Chains A and B, each alone.
Chain A
Amino acid sequence: MTQDYLQRYLFLILGFFGVLSALMVVFTKNPIHSVLYLVLTFFSIAGEYILLNAQFIAIVNVIVYAGAIMVLFLFVIMLLNLNKETEPHKNPYLKFAAVVTGGLMLIVLVGSLKMADTTAIATPYQGQKGLISNLGFVLFHDFLLPFEISSILFLAAMVGAVMLGKKDIK
């Protein structure tokens, strides 16, 4: 029983930090600070994955998102020398309208889904679904065709990125 409450407290703490740093991503002026806050958000989401007994997803989230994609963002920001607060806010109504729109969307989503399923997630401890052997079996057995197709997607993305990055295409 104590462990269950501990789990809930951990969820609330991680969720609080995640939402706070997500807000800081949006509201910070400096793009580098935004990237660092987004890394913090990804770490709290990885903590939520561990609470859901999805350890491998949590590790992959930290390695791929916080490790690779965010470094790519940082690299581009530093390459383009954007690490200064260069954002002229032309229209003050735009900010207000965006916050109102996002808030309305939040109200609609939460209002329609808050009593969707109030039952607890039942098997937090004995579930073996998030472990790597089970995930690998499902990935290479049920999802083999999408897995192979995603390699074609990566090839296309790689070719596209190289083509876009070239200075002048003959």
Chain B
Amino acid sequence: MSEVVRGIPLNWFIILSSILFSIGVMGVLFRRNAIIIFMSVELMLNAVNLLLVAFAAKWGDASGQVFVFFTMAVAAAEVAVGLAILVVMYRNSKSTDIDVLNKLKG
């Protein structure tokens, strides 16, 4: 490589975000505990946040970082409602296993 080494290449961030996102997808797919599934979703959101900040730094634009704020706001709201749903689910079935949610009959 002939170019002068300056800073971190952008595609390193892309690859790191891809790895974190795939780990999150894996967690959503094979854990049965609903809380762990929520945590995997948070992991995926953070991978996307990292990518947004990397692109914002690459192009010198602060809009990407402001988008990260909105992602955090939506994630906070999602977690609040999701954990409330989880508490209701535990109250009804004494378990947070998502396999007990297979009957949507009321």
Q: Which residues of A contact B (CB under 8 A)?
A: 1, 4-5, 7-8, 11, 15, 18-19, 22-23, 25-26, 31, 34-35, 38, 41-42, 45, 48-49, 51-54, 56-57, 60-61, 64-65, 68-69, 72-73, 76-77, 79-80, 82, 86-90, 94-95, 97-99, 101-103, 105-106, 109-110, 113-124, 127, 129-130, 134-135, 138-139, 142-143, 146, 150, 153-154, 156-158, 160-161, 164-165
Contacts and interface: CB of A to CB of B under 8 A. Distances in A.
Contacts of A134: 62
- Please indicate which of the listed interface residues A73, A77, A99, A120 has the most CB atoms of chain B within 10 Å of its own CB: A120
Nearest to B79: A69
**Is chain A's binding surface mostly helix, strand, loop or mixed?**
helix
A99 B33 CA distance: 17
Contact of A90 (B7, B18, B66, B99): B99
Interface residues of B, number: 72
Contact of A139 (B12, B66, B99): B66
- Please indicate which of the listed interface residues B23, B24, B74, B76 has the most CB atoms of chain A within 10 Å of its own CB: B23
A22 B73 contact: no
Contacts of B10: 116-121
Given A31-B33, A120-B6, A73 B63 contact: no
A127 B97 CA distance: 47
